[in-house]
A and B are shown apart, each in its own frame.
Chain A
Amino acid sequence: MILYYENLPGYSLLIIILPRIANLYLLAQKQKSEVEISIKEAEIPAPALNILNQFWNDKKKVDFYREFDGNSVSYEAKFMPDNHLLSIEFNERGLIKDIEQLIEFDEIPENTGNIIRSYLNDQYTKFKVTRIQRQYSGGDELTKSFLEEDLVPLTIRYELEVEAQNKEELGIFEFLFNKNGQFLWKCKIMRRSLDNIW
C-alpha cells in the first residue's frame, strides 16, 4: 500500500490525504455534536420563551440546556408544572419539536403497559424499568393540544429506560414504543466507565 502511494504523483497524494483530513474533521464534529450544556434563560430563542410562558401562570423554576445533535442546535427546557417533570425541546429557531413527560409505569394505559411488559418478558430473563417518558409530538398544534389536553391529534410514544439481561446481553437500554405498546426502536445506553469508582 505504501509503495502504491509512493508511485503516485504529488497531487494524487493530496487527493488521498485531503478526504482523510476531512474525515478527521467530521469525526471531531460528531464528537462535539454530543455536547449538552446548561445555559441561561437569556440564551433561549424568544419564540421558545413565548411558548414556555403558556405553560404557567406563576413562573416556575426552569433548567435550560443547549444540545448539538451533529448537524443542528436544539434547546431544551425542563421544569415541573405539576407532579410530572416536563422536558420541552425546541429547534434552533425556538419552534417546539416535542414534549416529554416523566411518568410512572402504571400511568401507561393498562393494555399498552401489558403489551410492553410482555415484549420485555419475551426478550429478557430479568429486567427493571427505571425511567419512563411519554413523548408528545404533533407539529404546530402541539402546545395548544397538549395544554388543552386534546391528545387525539398528537402522536404519543413511550420512551423507557430499562436495565435488562439475558444470555447474550446485559446493560441499560432505551426502548421506544408507540401508543399501542408496539416496539419501535431500541438502543444500548453507553454508561461511563466505572473504573474510577469501582
Chain B
Amino acid sequence: MNFLKIGLLFAVTGIFTSTALAQKADLIWSPELSYSWKQSDRLGFTAKFSMFNSLRDLDNNSAVRYIEPQITFSYSSSPRVKLGGGYYYRNSTPFLPGLQYEHRFLEQIGFVSYIGDKRIAHRLRAEQRVRSSSYQNRIRYRLSYDFPLEGQKLDAGEKYFIVKNEVMSAFNKEVADAENRADVGLGWYFNDKQKFELGLQYRTQDIFSDGGINHLFLIRTSYYINR
C-alpha cells in the first residue's frame, strides 16, 4: 500500500518536473556526499561535498553552478535536541572566468521525535552569507519526516521514504525575500553505516520579488556514510 502511495507521489512529482521542463524552469541535479562521525555520545561532526549542476547547460561551461564543501558539528543537549554550527564554502560557476565565492557560517538547533522508527525532525537555522558581491542573512525552518517502507523498523537492505519542507527568509539592509523548498525522496538503507537517497525538490524562489516567483526543480542524489 505504501509503495502505491509513494509511486503516485513520484508520478505527480514527475509530472511537475515535466511541466518545469516545458516552462523553462531551472532544472538542477545536485549530487551530495556526506561523511559523519561521532566523537562522543554528545558531539558529532559531518563533512559534506555537494554540487549544483544545471541540466539545461550541460553543453557549456556554466553547467556546474557551484561546488560546496562544508563542515558542521552538533552537540546533543538531550537525546532529542541538538545544537550545532558550521561553515560552508561555495565556489560559484568554477569553470567560468572570475572567482565568485561565498563563505557561509551557520548556527542551528534541531529537535527530533520518534514514533517507533518513524522520525519527525524540526530544524531552525541561521546563516550569515559573505559573498564576493554582497552580504546576506538567512533564517530557515525545516520539517522532515522519514519512515521505513517495510515493517515497523528500518533494517539493513530496506527502503525508506522521506518528505521535507523548508521555508526561509533571506535579508540584508537593502532587500528581503522568501523561499520554499518541498522535497520528496526514496532512501536505500544499506546498513547503519551507509545509505543513499534519491530526491525530487521543488523550490519556489523570490516569492516577494517584483519580478515574480522563480521555480526550480532539483534532482537530489545523496550518499551518506557514517562512522
Contact = CB atoms under 8 A, between A and B. Distances in A.
Interface of A: 31-32, 34-38, 65, 126, 130, 163-165, 169-172, 190-198
A149 B102 CA distance: 68
Contact of B112 (A36, A171, A194): A194
A171 B79 contact: yes
A196 B192 contact: no
Contacts of B197: 196
9 tightest A-B CB contacts, nearest first: A197-B144, A197-B121, A170-B41, A163-B79, A35-B155, A38-B151, A195-B36, A193-B226, A36-B151
A65 B151 contact: yes
B199 to A, nearest CB: 9
Given A35-B158, A171-B41, A194-B121, 6 more contacts: A31-B191, A163-B80, A165-B78, A192-B154, A196-B195, A197-B121
Contacts of A172: 79
B110 interface: yes
Interface residues of B, number: 41
Interface in B152-178: 152-158, 162, 164
B150 A38 contact: yes
Contacts of B158: 35
Interface of B: 34, 36, 41-42, 46, 74, 76, 78-80, 82, 84, 110, 112, 114, 117, 119, 121, 123, 144, 146, 150-158, 162, 164, 187, 189, 191-192, 195, 197, 222, 224, 226
9 contacts: A31-B191, A34-B156, A170-B76, A192-B119, A195-B226, A196-B187, A197-B119, A198-B82, A198-B112
Contacts of A191: 114
B191 A37 contact: no
Nearest to A78: B152
A130 B119 CA distance: 14
A170 to B, nearest CB: 4
Nearest to B34: A195
Contacts of A193: 36, 192, 224, 226
Given A169-B41, A193-B226, A198 B79 contact: no
A77 B79 CA distance: 30
Contacts of A35: 155-158
Contact of B123 (A31, A170, A192, A198): A198
